[in-house]
Amino acid sequence: MDNIKTDLLVIGAGSGGLSVAAGAAQMGADVTLLERHKMGGDCLNYGCVPSKALIQTAKVAHAMRHAAQYGVASVEPKVDYAAAMDHVHGVIANIAPHDSQERFEGLGVRVIREEGRFVNTDAVVETEKFRITARRVVLATGSRPFVPPIPGLDTVPYLTNETLWDLRELPAHLIVIGGGPIGMEMAQAHRRLGARVTVIEGQKALGKDDPEMSAIALDAIRGEGVEVIEGAQAARVAGSDGSITVETDDGRKIAGSHLLVAVGRKANTESLNLDAAGIGTTRTGIRVDKHLRTTNRKVYAIGDAAGGLQFTHVAGYHAGVVIRSTLFGLPAKAATSHIPWVTYTDPEVAHVGMTEAEAKKEWGANHEVARFDYEGNDRAQAERHTTGRVKVVVHNGKPVGASIVGHQAGEHISLWAFAISSGSKMKDVTGMVAPYPTYGELNKRAAGAYFSPKLFESEAVKRVVGLVQRWLP
């Protein structure tokens, strides 16, 4: 077994691990990167990239069916599901070189394609061929689909976000267990591609978002023919390839051809031998402090492994925090109040900061809510994307949370993420000039809606204006 001494050992070559490795190596650190499976991790190979590629194919099919509203004849698209999956894998292949072993070795990273496990509390990690002693270790091992212990599930073929992309034929009837982002995105995409789709959700679909906003998205999804069953747990599963039945706890039976399990994620920590390193865990992942340091001061955990928000951009943000700590010794902290997230249904649902319910719990009546609907935006009218709303939660004149449901909501939420992270006030947003006609005006109009009652319904303002007009020459 060969010995390696390194400044920084990164375990996991997903988005967070790659960001740490690239940044540290380019700033002069000796970096070793372990990856037991595919470079690029879940996001590139099974998550963000393939799902958005398939969603785009589904959007094209949907647009063809509804082209008449633009003066173009609507047609029923001929969907070649195998070709759609070829498109998905083609997108992955186009991005893969950026995350490849060759690129990172070119940056000066020592890349080892093996599994590693701790052997002691001194941050010593062993693989099959190497014994690695590191000054600091960053655990970026990501997560995998959580498979619930539903009776019968282990006897039937089922899909997860990792295996879905191997399909070559469109499911006749896709049953989705789980009404979260992954479940709802794939449900709508497959419905648009021509499959019958039923979603079974134990509580509320899109339940982590503001209910006012998620209701708008769910109405649109149901309107396209996706059956969404809420408040029903999958109690048992039976059947075989091409014929699967899910029975809910209220006695309903749903028969379909394929089953997708999308009920959440589980951190990848089992193979690390964390006990040997004195690293504690929680129910959701590795225990970390506000600096992302584990209970072993030499070891950090980021991204999904840290058990918090499970988004690629969070892992990238964590990478920056850890680089400042491990390379420069700065007391960098990770926060969550400025982290946005998006569900890429159509319409999209995006959020950052506090919800209205959270603000009410925190401050009671000492908060305000401003809204502006997409139908009041001229660009949305021109493109017939009028289903949607911007909702901003305000405290002491500052935005503390925002939710957007509508066309390109994921793009528009960035302004509110910036406003919250920079401590900007609502007047700063109204002071912005947005080009006309753009969807970007929606955020400015929402901010304007916050001030409108104060300006146009205030008797005091009217009296001041009246006095000024009498004195002006």
| 357-372: pLDDT as tens digits | 999 999 999 999 999 9
Q: Which CATH architecture has domain 153-263?
A: 3-Layer(bba) Sandwich (3.50)
How many Å apart are CA 386 and CA 68, to the nearest integer? Answer: 17
Tokens of 334: 């990770």
CATH topology of domain 2-145+266-328: FAD/NAD(P)-binding domain (3.50.50)
Give yes or no for a contact between 269 and 218, defined as CB atoms under 8 angstroms apart.
no
User: From the annotation, which residues make up the binding site for NAD(+)?
Assistant: 178-185, 201, 264
Beta strands in 364-471 (DSSP E): 368-373, 389-395, 398-406
User: From the annotation, which residues make up the binding site for FAD?
Assistant: 52, 116, 141-143, 304
Give yes or no for a contact between 125 and 36, defined as CB atoms under 8 angstroms apart.
no
How many Å apart are CA 187 and CA 345, to the nearest integer? Answer: 9
Give yes or no for a contact between 11 and 141, defined as CB atoms under 8 angstroms apart.
yes
How many Å apart are CA 426 and CA 398, to the nearest integer? Answer: 6
pLDDT at 469 over 90: no
The pLDDT score that the predictor gives to residue 472 is 80
pLDDT at 86 over 90: yes
User: From the annotation, which residues make up the binding site?
Assistant: 52, 116, 141-143, 178-185, 201, 264, 304
The strand pair at 173-177 and 31-34 is best described as unpaired
The pLDDT score that the predictor gives to residue 458 is 66
Reported as a pLDDT band with limits 50, 70 and 90, residue 191 is very high
Reported as a pLDDT band with limits 50, 70 and 90, residue 465 is low
Close Cβ partners of 58 (under 8 Å, ≥ 6 residues apart)? 188, 189, 190, 192, 193
The pLDDT score that the predictor gives to residue 352 is 98
Judge if 153-263 and 347-456 fold alike in CATH terms.
Answer: no
Reported as a pLDDT band with limits 50, 70 and 90, residue 468 is confident
Tokens of 233: 């747990």
pLDDT at 460 over 90: no
> For the chain, what are the domain ranges?
2-145+266-328, 153-263, 347-456
CATH match of 347-456 with 3.30.390.30:
yes
Q: Residues 411-423: what's their mean pLDDT?
A: 98
Tokens of 12: 């996991």
Close Cβ partners of 433 (under 8 Å, ≥ 6 residues apart)? none
Tell me the average pLDDT of the chain.
Answer: 96
How many Å apart are CA 68 and CA 70, to the nearest integer? Answer: 5
Give the model confidence (pLDDT) of 228-268 as tens digits.
999 999 999 999 999 999 999 999 999 999 999 999 999 99
Reported as a pLDDT band with limits 50, 70 and 90, residue 462 is low
Cα dist. 343→103, 217, 260, 264, 413 in Å? Answer: 31, 10, 18, 14, 12
Q: Residues 200-227: what's their mean pLDDT?
A: 98
The pLDDT score that the predictor gives to residue 291 is 97
Q: Residues 283-304: what's their mean pLDDT?
A: 97
The pLDDT score that the predictor gives to residue 201 is 98
The pLDDT score that the predictor gives to residue 471 is 78
How many Å apart are CA 299 and CA 132, to the nearest integer? Answer: 14
Give the model confidence (pLDDT) of 170-179 as tens digits.
999 999 999 9
pLDDT at 454 over 70: no
pLDDT at 457 over 90: no
